[in-house]
Structure 1
Amino acid sequence: MEAKPCSNSRVINSTLVLPPDTNNHGTLFGGKLLSHIDVAASIAAIKHARKLVVTASTDSVDFLAPVTVGQTIHIEAYVTWTRNTSMEVFVKVLTENLMTAETTICSTAFLTFVAIDENGKPSQVPEIYPETEQERRLHESAKERAAQRREQRRKSKAFAEELEI
């Protein structure tokens, strides 16, 4: 499989924040933003793998600024690192006031996806390589995030085993 640049997987989705998308404070529901993030990230993963994917983890979602009615959100996602069958996707969300053109980074996130074959089994993905400085920084720090995810998953499994059904 031939390696691909991060840029090949880049996706930018935009949407207008409307009243039904917001809470009683007039700000975007966190769950609504998470849904937009998951969709954009999954498209980036599919573009890289050219296979169906499933979300394996959503971690490090940081809500940095509120998003209000009438603002536009721009969700940028791309694959930053790969293993045999998995892909880490970085997502950056910008808000834009369409009247003033003011933009703010309102959220960042890392998600992991696993490519699957027609039988729903994990399937190999191409390696990825960075081209820009930002892509290089994210690519170089990905192994550490992957180790943290593995440890968190181990802890989550242990906790789940302790819970009563």
Structure 2
Amino acid sequence: MEGKKAIESLTVMNEIVLPNDTNVFGNLMGGRLMYWMDIAAAMASTKHCNSASMTASVDNISFKTPIKLGNVVHIEAKVTRAFNTSMEIHLKVWGEDVLNQHQYESNEAYFTFVALDATGKPKSVPALIPETKEEQLLYEGALRRRQVRLILSGKMKPDEAAELKALFMPQEV
């Protein structure tokens, strides 16, 4: 299976925050944003693996700045690494006050998706080819983030996480 470039999975999604999307403070509800982020991540993963895929996990979503009623939400999603049947997708979210021409960072997260075949079983995905310095850094960190996810889900024992141990344990000389 031939590898694919990270840029090939790039998905940009835009939404306007309407009254039905907000809480009592006039801010975009977190659940609505997560819904939109999940859709963007699904599109990015599908572009990479050319098949259906499903959400396997969502890392911490940090809400840095609220997005107000009437503002535009910009979501950018891109695959950062492909494993055997899963893909890590990095998402960045900005808000934009169009009237005042001001953009601001709102959120960032990592989602993991699993590619599925026609019967709904996990299937192999193409390798990812990072090209830019940022893509390379995200690619290299993805293995450590994956090990954290696997430990937290009980699918890996901490002493099996070689990449993480290398960060915290002194190397023998």
Do the two structures share a fold, i.e. TM-score over 0.5?
yes
Q: State the alpha-carbon separation in 2 of the partners of residues 94 and 105 from structure 1.
A: 4
Q: State the alpha-carbon separation in 2 of the partners of residues 99 and 134 from structure 1.
A: 31
Unaligned runs of 5+ in 2: 156-173
The CA deviation at 1:135 is 1.1
Q: Residue type matched to 1:77 in 2?
A: A
The CA deviation at 1:23 is 0.4
Q: State the alpha-carbon separation in 1 of the partners of residues 64 and 140 from structure 2.
A: 24
Residue 147 of structure 1 pairs with residue 147 of structure 2: yes
Q: Residue in 1 aligned with 2:20?
A: 20
Q: Residue type matched to 2:127 in 1?
A: E
Per-residue Cα deviation, 1:36-87 (whole angstroms, up to 9, x for no partner): 0000000000000001001000112111110100110000001000111000
The CA deviation at 1:103 is 0.7
The CA deviation at 1:134 is 1.5
Q: Residue type matched to 1:34 in 2?
A: M
The CA deviation at 1:100 is 2.1
Q: State the alpha-carbon separation in 2 of the partners of residues 60 and 7 from structure 1.
A: 24
Q: Residue in 1 aligned with 2:66?
A: 66
State the percentage of identical aligned residues.
41
How well do the aligned residues superpose, as a CA RMSD in angstroms? 0.9
The CA deviation at 1:116 is 0.5
Q: State the alpha-carbon separation in 1 of the partners of residues 100 and 133 from structure 2.
A: 29
Q: State the alpha-carbon separation in 2 of the partners of residues 62 and 129 from structure 1.
A: 28
Q: Secondary structure at the match of 2:113?
A: strand
Moved over 4 A (4+): none
Q: Residue in 1 aligned with 2:56?
A: 56
Q: Secondary structure at the match of 2:88?
A: strand
- TM-score (ref. length: structure 2): 0.88
Per-residue Cα deviation, 1:121-160 (whole angstroms, up to 9, x for no partner): 10000000111222111111000000000011118xxxxx
Unaligned runs of 5+ in 1: 156-165
Q: State the alpha-carbon separation in 2 of the partners of residues 105 and 90 from structure 1.
A: 15
